Amino acid sequence: MSRLDQLHDIADESLAGLKATDDMRRNIRMKAAAAQPAPRRLMVQGLAFAAAALLCFLGVSAALRPRAGQNEPEPQISSYTLGQGDQGGERYTSDVGYGNVTIKSDRNGIPAMQNIWAQGEGGVAPLIASDGRYYRMLSEPQSAPQSVLGSSLGVISEFTRQPELSGGRGLLSNVVSAGTEVYQVRGLGGTLLAANVNGSLRVFQRVSYNNTALLSGEGLADTLQLSGHITGMALSGVGAVTDPSAAERLFRTLVDQAVFKSSGAVTASQTLLITLDNGLAVQLSVKGEHLGGCGVWSCPEFFDAFGAAVQP
Amino acid sequence: MQPGTQTAEAALSSASFEELYELYATDVLRVCYFYLGDRQRAEDVCQDTFVRLITAQPQLQAGKEKAWLLKVAMNRCRDLWRGAWLKRVVLGSPVFELIPAPDEFSERAEKQALMDAVNRLPTAFKDVVLLHYYQGYGIAEIAEMLGLPEGTISSRLSRARSKLEALLKGDETGEPS
């Protein structure tokens, strides 16, 4: 019954012409709307009418409101854009560039824990495997700009749901379709990859997976080739370093002092986001003095230096 | 690197319907097709399943959304299967018609035989084979989905394999020799 073990692939191939369509999606929406009880439907209609009225009111208000830079400020947001150098002062919606990662802060301006590892189906992370290196999709940005693209690594040779993505050599993925081109992110070596997923350019970060982290001769600096591109760091619950030169020094401390502990992962209680000059960010999971990304690393020196850097 | 933290409420928001539809609708559709052998019926059941997701607002645990969708769809398929229309029209069909992509016609006979054999399994065996071998669920997960002991699932899988082997050898009854 060896063929039975291939049922998934055979069925998907044999039924490849059978796909859920947009027509079905529309039908579902219509049927769901029709299936709602009448009072609720009326309430929804009432709410829709009220919302439309409110939108009209806001639209007219906006049209009559003076433009930003005159009298009225633009709406302020509680996050700030990355990769733009100076983070001082208030930030506005118009300041956040397309495809930039934003960091959320609490009321006191302290970075909140913000996990940007994308989650996958059934707890299996969305991955690209490239000859023994694993890259996990980031949840932010949802759509990166084409300007981040560097050289092409080739195309996904196999789409596989096998978590270990060990079906063969070359580029494999459980989220990027076969035949889709995979790129390095410009200037960052093999730290980040980018590929289209469902029509959006998504970013993938080098990670450990299936107890595989470093290949022969590699160190932390090989998996985080970020020097010269760092604009800031945000450690959740602690603070943010927004001076690029200070952040660069912290990064050097990290790659110089960190000690490799294992090829696994840490259960994060904090996150460290390292912001880059292209608007993207990479993430390390943090627990105590351990950092996890592509392997688990211990670096108390980094946390001491970070704590000192965020002191007022 | 924690697993998804999506809440049940979020799963039922409009945006999450889109997300769940993108992720799972095709799988649900294909599993339905295995049961019903009829594209239009499979599409109907798939749509009804997602309508129920929107209207019933089930309390879904993060990561269990697909299991819920498959369970609802399979229950509906079983209900339909018991109906006279399917018994008359589908059970009489000589083969389980594949719907391959236009450029995929290699190894058709062998694959057709396996698909046909799976399609002809009794429902109880088809359940476990589809969930285990097609959708990749473990025995414990299948037991939870179907509300049966794990031992029953293991036993059904074992017997299903024997029946499939017999069917593939040409035994029309699927009884192992």
Minimal-distance CA residue of chain A relative to B20 = A121
Q: Please give the structure tokens belonging to residue A202.
A: 């998504």
In a mutagenesis test of the B interface, which of A24, A41, A262, A269 is the best target, namely the one with the most B β-carbons within 10 Å? Answer: A24
Q: Please give the structure tokens belonging to residue A183.
A: 């790129």
Residues A40 and A130 in one domain: no
Q: What is the mean pLDDT of residues B146-166?
A: 90
Does residue A115 fall inside a structural domain?
no
Q: Does B169 touch chain A (CB under 8 A)?
A: no
B110 contact residues in A (CB cutoff 8 A): 3
What is residue B107's predicted lDDT score, i.e. its pLDDT?
59
Q: Does B54 touch chain A (CB under 8 A)?
A: yes
Q: What angle do CA B27, B22, B67 make, to 5 degrees?
A: 45
CB within 8 Å: A36 and B55: yes
CB within 8 Å: A24 and B43: yes
Could you report the per-residue pLDDT of A71-97, keeping only the tens digit for each? 444 443 334 334 333 334 444 444 445
* pLDDT-derived band at B112, boundaries 50, 70, 90: confident
Query: Could you give the strand order of the β-sheet that contains A192-197, starting from the edge strand earlier in sequence?
Result: A149-155, A181-185, A192-197, A200-207, A133-137, A127-130, A171-173, A158-159
What is residue A120's predicted lDDT score, i.e. its pLDDT?
76
Does residue A61 fall inside a structural domain?
yes
Does B172 score more than 80 pLDDT?
no
Q: How far apart are CA A51 and CA A38, in angstroms?
A: 19
Three-state DSSP at A155 gives strand
Residues A152 and A25 in one domain: no
What is residue B99's predicted lDDT score, i.e. its pLDDT?
62
Q: How far apart are CA B146 and CA A127, in angstroms?
A: 30
Residues A25 and A146 in one domain: no
Q: What is the mean pLDDT of residues A169-183?
A: 89
* pLDDT-derived band at A149, boundaries 50, 70, 90: very high
Does residue A288 fall inside a structural domain?
yes
What is residue B90's predicted lDDT score, i.e. its pLDDT?
47
Q: Are B115 and B70 in contact (CB under 8 A)?
A: no
Average pLDDT, chain B: 76
Please give, rounded to a whole number of angstroms, the shortest distance from the CA of B42 to a CA of chain A: 10
Residues A181 and A300 in one domain: yes
Per-residue burial over A21-45, b = 16 or more CB atoms within 10 Å of its CB, e = otherwise: eeebbebbbebbeeeeeeeeeeeee
Does residue A179 fall inside a structural domain?
yes
Give the distance from CA B48 to its chain's centroid.
Answer: 15
Does residue A72 fall inside a structural domain?
no
Q: Which domain holds residue A291?
A: 121-309
CB within 8 Å: A8 and B133: yes
Q: Does B3 touch chain A (CB under 8 A)?
A: yes
Residues A37 and A154 in one domain: no
Does residue A175 fall inside a structural domain?
yes
CB within 8 Å: A123 and B4: yes
What is residue A220's predicted lDDT score, i.e. its pLDDT?
92
What is residue A41's predicted lDDT score, i.e. its pLDDT?
47
Query: Is the omega angle on the peptide bond into residue A141 within 30 degrees of 0, that is, cis?
Result: yes
Give how far Cα B67 sits from Cα of A142, A276, B14, B49, Å: 26, 39, 20, 12
Could you report the per-residue pLDDT of B15-53, keeping only the tens digit for each? 488 889 999 999 999 999 888 877 888 899 999 999 888
Look at B96 and A284; give whichever has higher pLDDT.
A284
* pLDDT-derived band at A37, boundaries 50, 70, 90: low
Residues A35 and A135 in one domain: no
DSSP annotation of A276: E
Minimal-distance CA residue of chain B relative to A268 = B1
Q: Determine phi and psi for A149, rounding to 5 degrees.
A: -70, 130
Q: Does B21 touch chain A (CB under 8 A)?
A: yes
Average pLDDT, chain A: 78
Does residue A265 fall inside a structural domain?
yes
- In chain B the domains, ranked by start, together with CATH numbers, are 1-93 (1.10.1740.10), 102-177 (1.10.10.10)
Q: Say which residues have a Cβ less than 8 Å from residue A25's Cβ, sequence separation at least 6.
A: B18, B21, B25
Domain tally, chain A: 2
Does residue A55 fall inside a structural domain?
yes
The dihedral built from the CA positions of residue B73, B132, B17 and B63, taken in this order, carries a sign that is: positive
Residues A169 and A280 in one domain: yes
H/E segment holding residue B169: none
* pLDDT-derived band at A138, boundaries 50, 70, 90: very high
DSSP annotation of A18: -
Does A144 score more than 80 pLDDT?
yes
Q: How far apart are CA B141 and CA B157, in angstroms?
A: 14
Specify the range with the lowest mean pLDDT, choosing from A50-64, A172-186, A253-267, B97-111. A50-64
Look at A269 and A150; give whichever has higher pLDDT.
A150
Does B156 score more than 70 pLDDT?
yes
Could you report the per-residue pLDDT of B41-91, keeping only the tens digit for each? 889 999 999 988 888 878 777 888 899 999 999 988 877 766 544 454 444
